[in-house]
Structure 1
Amino acid sequence: MDHTVRVLLLFVFNYLLAAVAETANEDYSALQGLMNGFLKKPDSWDGPDPCGGSWIGIKCNDSRITSITLPSMNLKGRLADDIGFLSELQDLDLSYNRGLTGPLPQKIGNLKKLSSLSLVGCNFTDPIPDTIGQLQQLVFLSLNSNSFSGRIPPSIGNLSNLSWLDLTDNQLEGPIPVSSGTTPGLDKLYKAQHFHLGMNKLSGQIPPQLFNSELTLIHVLLDQNQLSGNIPPTLGLVLDLEVVRFDGNSLSGSVPQSLKNLTNVQQLVLSNNKLSGPLPDLGEMKRLNYLDMSNNSFESSEFPRWFSYLENLVTLMMENTNLEGQIPDSLFNLASLQIVKLNDNKINGTLVVNGTTRGNQLRLVNLQRNSIEKFVPQDGLQNVTIILLDNHICRETGMASKPYCSTSSPAQPPSSISDIPQPSNCPEKCNEPDQIPSPKCICAYPYQGTLKSRVLLNFPDQYFAKLENGLMFSFRTYHLPVDSVSFSNPTENLFPGPLNLGLKVFPSGQEGFNHTGLSNIASLLSNLSYEFEPPELFGPLDFVAEDYGHYEENSKGRDSLSTAVIIGVAVCGSLLLVLALLAGVYAFRQKKRAERAIERTDPFRSWDTNERNSAIPQLKGARHFSFQELQKYTKNFSQDNEIGYGGYGKVYGGTLPNGQLIAIKRAQNVSLQRGLEFKAEIELLSRVHHKNLVSLVGFCFEPDEQMLVYEYVPNGTLKDSLSGKSGIRLDWTRRLKVALGAARGLAYLHELADPPIIHRDIKSNNILLDERLNAKVSDFGLSKPWADCEKDHMTTQVKGTLGYLDPEYYTSEHLTKKSDVYSFGVLMLELITARKPIERGQYIVKIVRKEIDKTKELYGLHGLVDPAIGLSLTLPSFEKFVDLTMNCLEESSTNRPTMTDVVREIESMLLQAGPNLTPESASTSVSFEDVSKGSHHPYSNESFDSSAVNSSTTIKGKC
């Protein structure tokens, strides 16, 4: 072929490829660089347009790549520096690719918008780059199970938004970094809940500065390192802690008494160290379920009676700790106790193990190599392994034949879950090699691996259903092609380590997974963070995947289309046809560019104002602001004008030229999902008008900018008032009025809006208080209009806030008005207790249900009522308010009242408290003191008649 023609054709086809691509040039070039670093590129990474939907693991927004998720894709090679050019990247997950090796590029620090970095189970080496501290938006950092070496970068302390830090199972060494002057450290990670630093080579002392009262940590895992020195007493300042693991180090000195302050700790593991001094009294740690202080050099002491105070104790491990004396009978009366290992001590006297009163929960009592002289077995011990070998009792004549004196006694407890049966009709083997019968007896190629619990737990049979349901719920929530899961081979490591559980995930509707399905499943499993009830049963969980080679759709053949083939095909075509195509594409691109230009100048172009089209926003009274206008009203969005922030973005205060105060909610990340929520909130707020709903003043909709402009509500959120942050004190009567205002706003949405609206995110953070402390419902980003009045529910993806979610909606995905009623019930509990819905692992609804005693004053809830209410004063209608609250929290939605019923009930309660409030009952912030002293009280004009819900402009409802 003539060389000139060949060059021309290549130019034409390259232009065509670039013309139809939607991916930004810089991102496309960066992906090309990544592929050059991979010895084996991902299947389907071919073609000109990564954002076109055909490239596995790539997600985009406005032609920019925002997510790369490629776990378990058998990738090999290195991560190239080109990753740093993906400036819009928010999520990067390359987990379970053991072939990925070499250092993590320094340019990883250029990903300023990265919020999640997951590289679990790869083979990265060299030190973690210090530039990782530049990722200011990072929330999730998981580098566990690699071969990283060197020191932990102190710059990680700059990650002020970090919640999850996992560096477990690497080769990291040196001290734990803490701040010093201008140098950052891990002690500055105030939002972090997880420090997972175990199974490394960290050395030196645990710095006392690492722990302080501002930290929100719930897990501190420093196990199996080379740490020395004392356990710092400052550990006792981190009151939210639930799991502490310092085992497998060289820690010395006494255990600090401050540990008894950690009353939320559920697992405490200090075994295999060099601790000395007296054994600490931990009897106040009532939530402990796993205690292991084995193999330390404590001073000889009488057997502690405080063990018997640990009412939730499941496992007690005190091997080789110099315990003396007789074990009190009360220890074996603990209702949850399963495993007791007290071997290699100096325990003597008579052993009495009572199984009958305990419901036979006990599985193992190991007292080998002690000095017990007599054993009095009780009823109900048939399934309990008792080991008394090398005690005085077993040296007596004729005792060697006793089961508890036998050398054949198992050193480990028999696992009650070692054999998980399959249905009886399942085939033993499948016809195809490597296929396995699923729990539904369908032969398939499952995705397999090991599920590991980071904490030391005994896994009773009944927890498997919870774990299975939790996994399947997550798979269904993300619409993943999973039919079922199965577990096998649970094992507990001899040296303290996680409980390992084989996991098989079976495909739905096919014999194997395709690349996309497997990638999505692996991505979910690499970021396990379940909120089971109770959460301490499981988390955190790690998944270690095996290679998968049975893809349903193998796309290797797609890579065979080479440039030579393209040229060959081109030669057979007509040059005129090519040029015609080029002209057509050019015209198409010009048209698209013109449309985009129009859209930039006219944000309403895609929002037709034809009111017959219900799919587009019906804007009634909402004003369109330009970016320049809002920039002016907020002093260029200055820091001084910031008045709040949330998941959506920051909120700024401003003043309109007419003097009206406004609050501007500015989206931090403009995306399709944000755009949908933005559109929904504009539509709803421009159509609903009620004194107990926040009013929409206007909005700004421009390229890369989405802002909502509300009326300014001066006294902040109800959450801030209840926590004391705002300085406003709400007495009991004021709380009743707040509840009434919020209920009226919800009742309006449910009954008088057209169509009715379900809010879906009722919580104390979305209830604002105006200058007179009237409640206003806000934040309609998740709200759902309900046009079909003939149905009792709508099926929709579950959204909302944990702790407030209706459990019926959560499990069935059936959304009803009663879902808002349940959330409102949780809000009422907040008004009573000022506690968060889920606080320190405990659900307030369960706590109150357990504590209620209707035979006592205030239903026996004195210890839960917020002291700021004033318990020394009369609380009128308190019991009625509690009754109404619990009715709203009924498990079945059909048993809950409507919001109109709730309004009537609270109105009745306030009438009993008196139709006019006195100044003494309206304690507010300092700014209201002068008003309350005057003759006209700011709340005295508000009535409590049943028509109050209709007191504002309403829209006639259809339903």
Structure 2
Amino acid sequence: MGVRVLVILLVFLLGESIGDAATNPYDFSAIKGLMSDWQNTPPNWVGIDPCGNGWDGIGCKNSRITSITLSSMGLTGSLPGDIGQLSELQILDLSYNKGLTGSLPLQIGNLVKLTNLLLVGCGLYGPIPDSIGSLQNLVFLSLNSNGFSGLIPPTVGNLSRLYWLDLADNQLTGSIPVSSGSNPGLDMLLHTKHFHFGQNRLSGTIPSQLFSSEMHLIHVLFDNNQLTGSIPSTLGLVQSLEVVRFDTNFLSSAVPGNLNNLTSVQELLLSNNRLTGPFPNLAGMNALNYLDLSNNSFDATDFPAWIPTVQSLTTLTLEHTQVQGVLPVILFSIFSLQSVVLKNNNLNGTLDIGTSRSNQLQLIDLQTNLIDSFKHSTGVYSVVVILVDNPVCQETGAAGQSYCTVPQTNTSSYSTPPNSCIPAVCNSNQTSSPNCKCSHPYTGTLVFRAPSFSGLGNLTYFEKLASSMMISFQSYQLPVDSISLSDPRKDSYNYLKLNLAVFPSGGVRFNWTGINSIGFVLSNQTYKPSQLFGPFYFLGDQYMNFDVPTTSKKSSNIGVIIGAAAGGFVLLLLLALVGVYAFRQKKRAEKATEQSNPFVNWDPNKSDGSIPQLKGARWFSLQELKKYTNNFSDANEIGSGGYGKVYRGTLPTGNFVAIKRAQQGSMQGGVEFKNEIELLSRVHHKNLVSLVGFCLEQGEKLLVYEFLPNGTLKDSLSGKSGIRMDWARRLKVAIGAARGLAYLHELANPPIIHRDIKSTNILLDDHLNAKVADFGLSKPMGDGERGHVTTQVKGTMGYLDPEYYMTQQLTEKSDVYSFGVLMLELLTARRPIERGRYIVREVRVLINKDKDLYNLQGILDPAIGLGTSLKGLERFVELAMRCAEESGADRPTMGEVVKEIENIMVFAGLNPKAESATTSASYEEASKGYATHPYRNEDFFEYSGGFPPSRIEPQ
């Protein structure tokens, strides 16, 4: 301890004389505590300045350690209480270090700024401390695949910002905690979307209080536990659910009838319980892909007539459920159906699989039933049919029929094929990648907890998965050359597993930063697979970075001791020089600030804003921008509004930019100017407009954006741009804008509310991809503001959320309302308020679900393609009206909006992942000119408080 204190003193006093230290001394002391307990720390963890010297896996801000990401490092040891000293820590990811053992220290609760606690696949054990409930800012809590035991801490219910809760694959026992009086419980997690508790030893009944209509859950996984009692009917109130697993417990009683209301559920597994009563009617679950009710004790019943009506089914498993009668031939014509497993029942008569059966159908397993004949087309049929232990297989000559034998289990030997090349011959330490390069891949196992398909023979699934992962890695600029998936198989928990190998680019091995980055993308669920695969987790292997020397911890400690001794020797001398040193450091800091911060001379009083906190935006001089725009000539003017004018500029590289120049007395003052710079310099997404740079000089305020040649969405809807906006293009614009907003709400840190979503702020690039623009009114949600922030009302008339206007409480749902109005504008090409008519009210009055196009033909934009097939339009209208509900609590989140628009596009025969087409003649013509432009704003009218809005909501 004495050495530790002396180290802190040395960091304070030696400063520049020892490596120009930048790290806060208390943070460095905490890191030294971790190092004393860990083996196999990164080789560059030497010296006393983790922040200044760029230690692998350590992220810093203003000399404070804010993140530790060390996945797959091969760390061994325990997690000491020193971790609690890192008071500014926001991200802790130590996943995939199996040698990291011991208990989770109580001091973890001191990390009150922690947003991501990721300890997946370690060797931790013991109880999860109650202090975890102190982490009020926690968004991701992943402790799965460890050895934690004891009860689920009720204090988890205090984590009101929690999005992802994963305690699966541990040894947790006891009952599911719910709130009582002042005691918290899981029922308080109204905004959490993921409850992952499978593969534990939880017991007792499922409290009815656990679920409510106020919750936003999409995944509820309690499979493979020891739960008893009935399934609570309150489960049917959680309309957002998509995956439900309660299989392999001891549940009894009847299945609640109101589960039929869960119209978004895609996977429902209730098998291997003791459920009784009538066979459940789930006809309302029209999104259902995977249904498994096997091994329960339902009342004997004829094969349910509602099952063939669920046209989304891929997998039907009803083994040992006492169904009887004849299987209807229409069952096998479900287009998506892949497997039917109805073993150990009382089905009888003739099995007729028909001639119009699904071409995806792979397996029909009817072992141990009463089938007495099999009708099928002559010749070879591709479906595997198993009728062993049925009367049909006891007839003369039946022994030679393939359907009277149980085939050997066919495990897929799939492996990502080479990419049009010949695999390289590599040494024993390396592997040939799909691009036929020898390297050391990062490997592990992908585990999907509820895939929506059953057949492993459809290799297209795995090819698409590999492609989406590669696209995700590239979007985060990770050093990945290629990835390989292999050996798909189902385990005893009905989980899908695949081996993953990630190959490095630019060399034969990853550095530690690359490994930590890839590991974090997977442990933090940053990579999102398609709904086809459902919720997943990853178990990474230790990465063996060959040829990288290890660092002796003993020599490192000796170095610290020697340095401490030397520091003690000169301590008295340094005390005498402290005054001089402090003065010199102050002057040096002031000089560095002046050189690095172009806003150092900003006058907050004159510009209505404080100095922006810059994160990478380029500073342009006024002289440069004059040169790029030919001294802001009229010929280069491409837009104007209340803020000033927009000019097209040409950079020395030949690339175009759009330069927004504020005029004196403009509506966009210093606060908005600063706000837009700060926000756009730290958020990056393909559906957000990019900020190239800015200029603040000689009283001028200028913003430099990427140039988008195809104008605003309003221009296209009004016909000014000459672009034909048919139904497909409107859907693609909607999904692009929705994804940009969802990123701001759910992935930006802190979350951002745009506050001014409208058609003039949706820009179209050269491929007609939508980008959200104009962040002058945007509001970041700071600490403690996750629910709402009380602020002056700002926005644009017609799009403004009436609840926000009435209460002045701004939430993400305010943007959702504006987006709902935008969706109606996409349908009608009308302004939100036009000739005294409010579009939301007008649609609500006209809507009639019993008529074609919901009775909206009279107000739909004719250019949308009236008279052609407008598949999904009714669902689009319903979604828009949900977004425009008067109460924010009744509106979906933007993440949910994205998913629904993707579903609508699939229903309409479109690929929601594809880029927009650029083939129409009108588009070709429009793309050649600059008459219209995304920054033109002829109806600039923002509401900033101070006067009553006109027709702000339906009367």
TM-score band by shorter chain is: 0.5 to 0.7
Structure 2: where are the runs of 5+ without partners? 1-6, 604-610, 613-618, 630-667, 685-689, 705-711, 714-736, 742-754, 780-791, 802-814, 833-838, 844-852, 854-859, 883-904, 940-948
Query: What is the CA–CA distance in structure 2 between the aligned matches of 1:858 and 1:88, rounded to whole Å?
Result: 52
Q: 2:111 maps to what in 1?
A: 111
The Cα offsets for residues 726-778 of structure 1, whole Å up to 9 and x where unpaired, read as xxxxxxxxxxxx99x9455678x999xxxxxx96447999799979826699x
Alignment of 1:146-295 (within 5 A): 146-295=146-295
Q: Indicate how the Cα distance of structure 1 residues 680 and 26 shifts in structure 2: closer, same or farther if over 3 A, else same.
A: farther
Q: 1:773 maps to what in 2?
A: 797
Q: Indicate how the Cα distance of structure 1 residues 64 and 346 shifts in structure 2: closer, same or farther if over 3 A, else same.
A: same
Query: What is the CA–CA distance in structure 2 between the aligned matches of 1:75 and 1:336, rounded to whole Å?
Result: 46
Query: What is the CA–CA distance in structure 2 between the aligned matches of 1:420 and 1:675, rounded to whole Å?
Result: 34
1:52, distance to aligned residue in structure 2 (A): 1.7
Contact 1:125–1:149 at 8 Å: present in 2 too?
A: yes
- Normalised to the residue count of structure 1, the TM-score between the two structures is 0.66
1:195, distance to aligned residue in structure 2 (A): 0.3
Query: What is the CA–CA distance in structure 2 between the aligned matches of 1:422 and 1:597, rounded to whole Å?
Result: 52
Query: What is the CA–CA distance in structure 2 between the aligned matches of 1:358 and 1:380, rounded to whole Å?
Result: 15
Query: What is the CA–CA distance in structure 1 between the aligned matches of 2:435 and 2:796, rounded to whole Å?
Result: 61
Q: 2:726 maps to what in 1?
A: none
Alignment of 1:778-927 (within 5 A): 854-855=866-867, 861=873, 864-865=876-877, 891-893=916-918, 895=920, 923-925=951-953
Q: Indicate how the Cα distance of structure 1 residues 857 and 28 shifts in structure 2: closer, same or farther if over 3 A, else same.
A: closer
Query: What is the CA–CA distance in structure 2 between the aligned matches of 1:556 and 1:368, rounded to whole Å?
Result: 61
1:311, distance to aligned residue in structure 2 (A): 0.3
Contact 1:145–1:169 at 8 Å: present in 2 too?
A: yes
Query: What is the CA–CA distance in structure 2 between the aligned matches of 1:305 and 1:359, rounded to whole Å?
Result: 18
The Cα offsets for residues 623-679 of structure 1, whole Å up to 9 and x where unpaired, read as xxxxxxxxxxxxxxxxxxxxxxxxxxxxxxxxxxxxx99999999999996599999
Query: Which letter does structure 2 place at the counterpart of 1:548?
Result: Y
Contact 1:176–1:202 at 8 Å: present in 2 too?
A: yes
Q: 1:393 maps to what in 2?
A: 392
The Cα offsets for residues 364-412 of structure 1, whole Å up to 9 and x where unpaired, read as 1100111100100136863211100000011112211111112x423x4
The Cα offsets for residues 850-872 of structure 1, whole Å up to 9 and x where unpaired, read as x98733899994564369999xx
Q: 1:4 maps to what in 2?
A: none
Q: Indicate how the Cα distance of structure 1 residues 178 and 471 shifts in structure 2: closer, same or farther if over 3 A, else same.
A: same
Q: 1:370 maps to what in 2?
A: 369
Contact 2:479–2:504 at 8 Å: present in 1 too?
A: yes
Q: 2:481 maps to what in 1?
A: 483
Query: What is the CA–CA distance in structure 2 between the aligned matches of 1:682 and 1:185, rounded to whole Å?
Result: 51
The Cα offsets for residues 85-110 of structure 1, whole Å up to 9 and x where unpaired, read as 11111111000001111111111111
Contact 1:529–1:540 at 8 Å: present in 2 too?
A: no
Q: Mean alpha-carbon deviation: is it higher for 201-210 or for 33-42?
A: 33-42
- Residue 322 of structure 2 corresponds to residue 322 of structure 1: yes
Query: Which letter does structure 1 place at the counterpart of 2:505?
Result: S
SS at match of 1:235: helix
Q: 1:474 maps to what in 2?
A: 472
Aligned-pair Cα RMSD in Å: 5.3
Q: Indicate how the Cα distance of structure 1 residues 852 and 688 shifts in structure 2: closer, same or farther if over 3 A, else same.
A: closer
1:592, distance to aligned residue in structure 2 (A): 2.4
1:525, distance to aligned residue in structure 2 (A): 2.0
SS at match of 2:623: coil
Q: Indicate how the Cα distance of structure 1 residues 234 and 58 shifts in structure 2: closer, same or farther if over 3 A, else same.
A: same
Q: 1:426 maps to what in 2?
A: 422
- Residue 525 of structure 2 corresponds to residue 508 of structure 1: no
- Residue 360 of structure 2 corresponds to residue 361 of structure 1: yes
Q: 2:43 maps to what in 1?
A: 43
The Cα offsets for residues 107-162 of structure 1, whole Å up to 9 and x where unpaired, read as 11111111111000001111111111111111111000001111111111111110
Contact 2:680–2:691 at 8 Å: present in 1 too?
A: no
Q: Mean alpha-carbon deviation: is it higher for 333-342 or for 661-670?
A: 661-670
Contact 1:314–1:338 at 8 Å: present in 2 too?
A: yes
SS at match of 1:612: helix
Q: Indicate how the Cα distance of structure 1 residues 158 and 402 shifts in structure 2: closer, same or farther if over 3 A, else same.
A: same
Contact 1:160–1:190 at 8 Å: present in 2 too?
A: yes
Query: Which letter does structure 1 place at the counterpart of 2:363?
Result: L
Contact 1:39–1:75 at 8 Å: present in 2 too?
A: yes
Q: Indicate how the Cα distance of structure 1 residues 18 and 828 shifts in structure 2: closer, same or farther if over 3 A, else same.
A: farther
Contact 1:763–1:823 at 8 Å: present in 2 too?
A: no
Query: Which letter does structure 2 place at the counterpart of 1:485?
Result: I
Query: What is the CA–CA distance in structure 2 between the aligned matches of 1:163 and 1:12, rounded to whole Å?
Result: 39
Contact 2:213–2:239 at 8 Å: present in 1 too?
A: yes
Contact 2:824–2:880 at 8 Å: present in 1 too?
A: no
1:358, distance to aligned residue in structure 2 (A): 3.6
The Cα offsets for residues 537-590 of structure 1, whole Å up to 9 and x where unpaired, read as 12322111122223354453798567569979x99xxx9xx99xx999878634
Contact 1:298–1:321 at 8 Å: present in 2 too?
A: yes
Alignment of 1:447-466 (within 5 A): 447-456=442-451, 457-458=453-454, 459=456, 460-466=458-464
Contact 1:511–1:552 at 8 Å: present in 2 too?
A: no
1:892, distance to aligned residue in structure 2 (A): 2.5
Query: What is the CA–CA distance in structure 2 between the aligned matches of 1:480 and 1:140, rounded to whole Å?
Result: 22
Contact 1:74–1:97 at 8 Å: present in 2 too?
A: yes
Contact 1:854–1:860 at 8 Å: present in 2 too?
A: no
Contact 1:513–1:552 at 8 Å: present in 2 too?
A: no
- Residue 436 of structure 2 corresponds to residue 441 of structure 1: yes
1:467, distance to aligned residue in structure 2 (A): 1.3
The Cα offsets for residues 159-190 of structure 1, whole Å up to 9 and x where unpaired, read as 11100000010011111111111111111111
SS at match of 1:279: coil
Query: What is the CA–CA distance in structure 1 between the aligned matches of 2:869 and 2:383, rounded to whole Å?
Result: 45
Contact 2:194–2:218 at 8 Å: present in 1 too?
A: yes
Query: What is the CA–CA distance in structure 2 between the aligned matches of 1:350 and 1:765, rounded to whole Å?
Result: 68
SS at match of 2:51: helix
Query: Relative contact order: is structure 1 or structure 2 higher (C-alpha 8 Å, sep ≥ 6)?
Result: 2
Contact 1:19–1:585 at 8 Å: present in 2 too?
A: no
Q: Indicate how the Cα distance of structure 1 residues 562 and 372 shifts in structure 2: closer, same or farther if over 3 A, else same.
A: closer
Q: Indicate how the Cα distance of structure 1 residues 665 and 108 shifts in structure 2: closer, same or farther if over 3 A, else same.
A: farther
Q: Indicate how the Cα distance of structure 1 residues 140 and 151 shifts in structure 2: closer, same or farther if over 3 A, else same.
A: same
Alignment of 1:493-532 (within 5 A): 493=491, 495-532=492-529
Q: 2:66 maps to what in 1?
A: 66
SS at match of 2:464: helix
Query: What is the CA–CA distance in structure 1 between the aligned matches of 2:97 and 2:509, rounded to whole Å?
Result: 19
Query: Which letter does structure 1 place at the counterpart of 2:267?
Result: Q
1:604, distance to aligned residue in structure 2 (A): 2.9
Contact 1:130–1:153 at 8 Å: present in 2 too?
A: yes
Query: Which letter does structure 2 place at the counterpart of 1:592?
Result: R
Aligned-pair identity in percent equals 42
Q: Indicate how the Cα distance of structure 1 residues 225 and 662 shifts in structure 2: closer, same or farther if over 3 A, else same.
A: farther
Aligned residues: 734
Contact 2:40–2:73 at 8 Å: present in 1 too?
A: no
1:306, distance to aligned residue in structure 2 (A): 1.1
Query: Which letter does structure 1 place at the counterpart of 2:312?
Result: N
Q: 1:934 maps to what in 2?
A: none
Q: Indicate how the Cα distance of structure 1 residues 668 and 269 shifts in structure 2: closer, same or farther if over 3 A, else same.
A: farther
Query: What is the CA–CA distance in structure 2 between the aligned matches of 1:89 and 1:368, rounded to whole Å?
Result: 57
1:44, distance to aligned residue in structure 2 (A): 1.4
SS at match of 1:84: helix
Q: Indicate how the Cα distance of structure 1 residues 742 and 233 shifts in structure 2: closer, same or farther if over 3 A, else same.
A: closer
1:80, distance to aligned residue in structure 2 (A): 1.2
- Normalised to the residue count of structure 2, the TM-score between the two structures is 0.67
